[in-house]
Structure 1
Amino acid sequence: MMTESPTRKGTTPIKVWVLPDEKGDIVNKAKSAGLSASAYLRNVGMGTPVTGIADKEAVMELVKINTDLGRIGGLLKMWLTNDEKLELEGHSSARLESVILAALRDTKAIQALLYQKASALKF
């Protein structure tokens, strides 16, 4: 015979007396963590780390930036290793060099953005 463990709804709640502005702060912090106020307070009370939705969104943004860097690097590599692409009809080697340098500058700018976003994350 399998015994069912009680659900939280079937147990006794803990009442916490707070001022209206304190309640608003708790509700806002819970929303930013993607939790109900009850779950947020339970996690804080039990010492469980509360991670916010903003952190998850920031990580996803970093993944997208890193993907863009990979694409740029892959395209640049393909372009440089393909002799047909290097033989631009009517374009000088100076023009080719300026295009490559511009691509490298863009890559460095994206790397700086990635570093900035990663440094702003708080774990």
Structure 2
Amino acid sequence: MQKQDDEKRATRKSSQHLTVYCLPEEKGQIMRNAKNVGLSASAYLLRVGVGYEVKSTLDSQLVGELVKVNADLGRLGGLLKLWLTDDKKLAATGHALTAGTVRALLKRIEDTQAVMFESVKKL
């Protein structure tokens, strides 16, 4: 009995298909929208057509970028802390702490923060 029920269940592939007429520009936009959310055009149109909310994968990509930028800031902050504490290991490598070095590092941190801010604005 269970096997007969499974055989009678309709699947999307064995069901009717729907034809959508559109202009080339519209097709391109549909394809781009589908790609942006990580779906095929068919799956995208089906979800939009039946009223499902289509969630973008771009947000998760931007979050990934922010995580990387935040890690860069953490590494730069650690380097600055090492220099400001005048670690003996650093002195042994011949790197001297100079005002120019600290300013350059602070500038790099500011630049990285600007990149992070731009990524947040995109969200």
Q: TM-score, normalising length from structure 1?
A: 0.71
1:7 and 2:11 equivalent? yes
**1:15–1:73 Cα change, 3 Å:** same
* Aligned residue type for 1:104: L
* Aligned residue type for 2:74: G
Q: Distance in 1 between matches of 2:95 and 2:56?
A: 56
Q: TM-score, normalising length from structure 2?
A: 0.71
Identity of aligned residues (%): 40
- Structure 1: gaps of 5 or more residues: none
Q: Distance in 1 between matches of 2:98 and 2:37?
A: 49
**1:90–1:23 Cα change, 3 Å:** closer
* Aligned residue type for 2:122: A
Q: Distance in 1 between matches of 2:21 and 2:94?
A: 77
Q: Distance in 2 between matches of 1:38 and 1:78?
A: 55
Q: Distance in 2 between matches of 1:67 and 1:13?
A: 48
Q: CA deviation at 1:96?
A: 2.0
**1:8–1:113 Cα change, 3 Å:** same
1:37 and 2:41 equivalent? yes
Q: CA deviation at 1:82?
A: 4.6
1:113 and 2:119 equivalent? no
* Map 1:12-27 → 2, pairs under 5 A: 12-27=16-31
- Deviation per CA, 1:68-111, whole angstroms, max 9, x where unpaired? 111111122233235423699795xxx62332222122111111
Q: Does the 8 A contact of 1:79 with 1:86 survive in 2?
A: no
- Structure 2: gaps of 5 or more residues: none
**1:48–1:31 Cα change, 3 Å:** same
Query: What CA RMSD, in Å, does the superposition of the two structures yield over aligned residues?
Result: 2.9
* Map 1:1-123 → 2, pairs under 5 A: 1=2, 4=6, 6-45=10-49, 46-52=51-57, 54-84=58-88, 85=90, 96-121=98-123
- Deviation per CA, 1:31-61, whole angstroms, max 9, x where unpaired? 2332111111122222312314x44433322
